[in-house]
A and B are shown apart, each in its own frame.
Chain A
Amino acid sequence: MEQNQDQSLFDMNMDSTTQSHLLSISKWTKFISITGFVVGGLFIILLAALGSEIISKFSAIFSFGDANMAGALIAIVLVVLLVMGCWLFFLFRASTLLKKGVQSRDTAQLAEGFKAMRIYFIFSFIISLLSMLSTLQSFA
């Protein structure tokens, strides 16, 4: 652990206030990600239990006509679930690594935590861009 804490001219110090902010960020991000996993899990269980019924109702409402459209709908839902799962995974990873990094004073783990946070923000940007486009399409 010692070699990770080498100081250079570019290093900055993190005081106890910053560390407490990081621990608080870790706490909230863990809560959000676990809640997301639980809600996503419930959604998957619901989809597995009532999937065929939901698809037949949707087919009747939107008159899909053939099974291919229903299959496309399932594929879209699965892709959305996968993207959301990755998004929440990186939030959870950032939470865990930041907490471990601060508590054990390990700068390598802290750096990994910030890396996970960076990926989380990239996912957030892509997801919000897609949701914005779909909302604007619904306005048009």
Chain B
Amino acid sequence: MEQGQSSSLFEMNFSQESRSHLAETASWARFLAICGIIFIGLLIVGGILISLAFTRTASRYGSYNNFGAETAGLGAGMIVMYILMGLLYFFPCLFTLQFANKMKDALASNDSLMLSESFRSLKKTFRYMGVLTIIGLAFFVLALVTGGLSALMF
């Protein structure tokens, strides 16, 4: 730990005020991450229950009409969609939890290396959200272009 705290010209000091703000930030970040992980669990369980209800409906009415297989397919598709949504939301929660835990450890032990690791986790959280924003924007532009082209064609 000692070598991590060696001073250099490029180092900055970290005031008591910053420490107290970061301690509170870590607490809220931890709440946020834990709530997010619980929500992912509920989302996946809820998704599975809904898709099971669809599959049950499909098996009940499958012999009467042709919708049975389609409804079962829809149920399976919903499970996959909910799991993908959960997976997409899991990583920022994980990085936020890592940030909070490492920050608490860093502040408790005055460990500059742990502090750096904590900010690295926070950077990963925002980078992940930034990349998701870029992907969302790309889809938005694609939808605009597709909509505009189809409006021109028809």
Contacts and interface: CB of A to CB of B under 8 A. Distances in A.
Interface of A: 4-8, 10-19, 21-22, 24-25, 28-29, 31-32, 35, 102, 105, 107-108, 110-111, 114-115, 117-118, 121-122, 124-125, 128-129, 132, 135-136, 139
Interface string B1-34: 0001101101111111111011011001101100
Contact of B7 (A4, A13, A128, A139): A13
B19 A10 contact: yes
Interface of B: 4-5, 7-8, 10-19, 21-22, 24-25, 28-29, 31-32, 35-36, 39, 42-43, 46, 50, 106, 110, 112, 115-116, 119-120, 122-123, 126-127, 129-130, 133, 137
Contacts of B43: 135
Interface residues of chain A: helix, strand, loop or mixed (majority): helix
Contacts of B133: 31-32, 35
Contact of A24 (B12, B16, B32, B127): B127
Given A31-B130, A35-B137, A135-B43, A118 B25 contact: yes
A17 B116 contact: yes
A128 B32 contact: yes
Given A14-B14, A25-B123, A118 B35 contact: no
Contact of A105 (B12, B18, B123): B12
6 contacts: A11-B13, A14-B12, A19-B10, A25-B122, A107-B17, A136-B42
Contacts of A111: 15, 17-18, 21
Contact of B130 (A7, A32, A121, A139): A32
Nearest to A23: B123
A11 B16 contact: yes
The 9 closest A-B pairs by CB, nearest first: A114-B21, A28-B126, A21-B119, A121-B28, A12-B14, A111-B17, A16-B10, A18-B116, A118-B25
